């Protein structure tokens, strides 16, 4: 299968890459922030939900990283 170089990618591909990289990282950051606030206020149920959200964010990041690696212009 032939890959195009990254320089030939259009703005839509660059926007998709930006979205796929930043969305799970923002989810992880927000889960950490709200988890810290939950611990500060002693809301342990909210902390458990934030830990679950952080785990989903990490899984999503890994899944999307593999997807982007497959769509990239580099060969293994």
Q: What is the pLDDT along the chain (76 residues), one digit of tens a residue?
A: 555 555 567 888 888 888 888 999 999 999 999 999 999 999 999 999 999 999 999 999 999 888 878 766 554 4
Sign of the CA dihedral running 35, 37, 39, 41: negative
Does residue 44 lie in a domain region? yes
Q: Does residue 74 lie within any of the structural domains?
A: no
Q: What is the pTM of this model?
A: 0.71
Residue 42 DSSP symbol: T
* Residue 3: inside a domain: no
Task: Give the integer Cα–Cα distance in Å for 54 and 32.
Answer: 7
Within a domain: 9: no
Structural domain boundaries enclosing 58: 19-69
CA atoms within 13 A on the CB side of 45: 0
Q: Tell me, yes or no, whether 63 lies in a domain.
A: yes
Q: Please tell me the total count of domains within the chain.
A: 1
């Amino acid at each position: 299968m032939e890959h195009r170089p990254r320089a030939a990618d259009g703005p839509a591909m660059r926007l998709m890459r930006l979205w796929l990289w930043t969305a799970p990282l923002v989810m992880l950051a927000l889960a950490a922030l709200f988890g810290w606030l939950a611990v500060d206020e002693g809301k342990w149920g909210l902390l458990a939900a934030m830990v679950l959200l952080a785990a989903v964010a990490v899984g999503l990041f890994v899944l999307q990283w593999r997807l982007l690696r497959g769509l990239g212009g580099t060969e293994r």
